[in-house]
Structure 1
């Protein structure tokens, strides 16, 4: 039995439809590996999200996932764009199609993008997670606070410059009868450079 997924719309046609709907709100609309990816600027992010939700031929009613990305040292220094990105994966149930929406924060020191929780309320906890793990601030989010780490946590653990051993460690103090924080006792590990395989490694093309 053929397990190839069936799509109602050809990806190339979807790319054209999305590009036409967004117009100058889209910075780029790419098609790779059968998937359409839209990249927008922070200024157009919220408007583009609303268009993708509402426009005929788009109608992406569901946000399935939203995550942060840290592009520092991407490709061993080959990346020259902004460091922090937010990527959302959208689904149109009515038209059986998907699209990826990406926005790069303009300021690496204080990454800020609009919240799209007003367009898709499923973005709520996803945006809190990206804030917690990457330090990306979602402007307009009504309850932006940590969701996975505790309230006293220092830093954002998914950033690539976050130390592997962390900033502090905690343990239960029997005398105080509570959990206490203390300096990390693990010695820093030697960082081994990432290996980039040559093209077509292992015969994969």
Structure 2
């Protein structure tokens, strides 16, 4: 099925449940509400027009600093990175929720792909788990929980998967300090590794730059 036919099928079948449906560089992105996630996910898997039997990837996105840069410029400069330590400047106004969960779907049968995006409010981080629809979502959802703090309702074993035991915070959030919150060292007296508040000063060495065309 071509991308135009897929786009039309999505519009016909999902109708008003679609919050947005956009095409960019030959890829479709479907935005839906989290309340209709499970219903639509089942349709995308089971409907003859879709047949998205495989979840290729699930990831989270933090839009906290979207459109903000530390150093606005139109060209390279030799004046150093000092300006990068100034407060961020907003170049775009982000009006949607802070977090999003993105599902990358593949139909092997019809040789087509679809990106599904669901936004999650910062004060309500719960979103339904799709593990009963695509079983491979298990570790993907655990990763998003570990790194971003998103909670997948219905997941049978939602625990950290990448960070260490006792890790504090979620390291892929944009407000998580680059140097972390804790550092580990070996204590000669206690003869064991201990955790202490990090002693490194956080600073911007290579500022984020958004060059306007």
Indicate the TM-score class for this superposition, using the shorter chain for normalisation: 0.7 to 0.9
Task: Report Cα offsets for 1:65-107 as digits up to 9, x if no partner.
Answer: 00000011211252110000000100001111000011001x3
> 1:24 Cα shift?
2.6
2:187 pairs with 1:173: yes
Q: Using the alignment, how far apart are the partners of 1:94 and 1:124 within structure 2?
A: 23
**Matching of residues 93-104 of structure 1 within 5 Å:** 93-104=108-119
Q: Using the alignment, how far apart are the partners of 2:144 and 2:194 within structure 1?
A: 27
Partner of 2:53: 61
Q: Using the alignment, how far apart are the partners of 2:144 and 2:51 within structure 1?
A: 25
Q: Using the alignment, how far apart are the partners of 2:49 and 2:24 within structure 1?
A: 20
TM-score (norm 1): 0.87
Partner of 2:104: 89
TM-score (norm 2): 0.84
* Bigger RCO (CA 8 Å, 6+ sep): 2
**Matching of residues 18-167 of structure 1 within 5 Å:** 18-76=10-68, 77=90, 78-105=93-120, 107-167=121-181
Whether contact under 8 Å (1:66, 1:89) holds in the other structure is yes
> 1:47 Cα shift?
0.9
Q: Using the alignment, how far apart are the partners of 2:124 and 2:145 within structure 1?
A: 11
Whether contact under 8 Å (1:117, 1:123) holds in the other structure is yes
Query: Which runs of 5 or more structure 2 residues have no equivalent in the other structure?
Result: 69-89
Greater displacement, 19-28 / 47-56: 19-28
- SS of the residue aligned with 2:156? coil
Whether contact under 8 Å (1:12, 1:31) holds in the other structure is no
**Residues 1:191 and 1:85: Cα distance change in structure 2 (over 3 Å):** farther
Aligned pair count reads 190
Q: Using the alignment, how far apart are the partners of 1:59 and 1:125 within structure 2?
A: 23
Greater displacement, 129-138 / 70-79: 70-79
Q: What is the root-mean-square deviation of aligned Cα atoms in Å?
A: 1.5
- SS of the residue aligned with 1:180? strand
- SS of the residue aligned with 1:82? coil
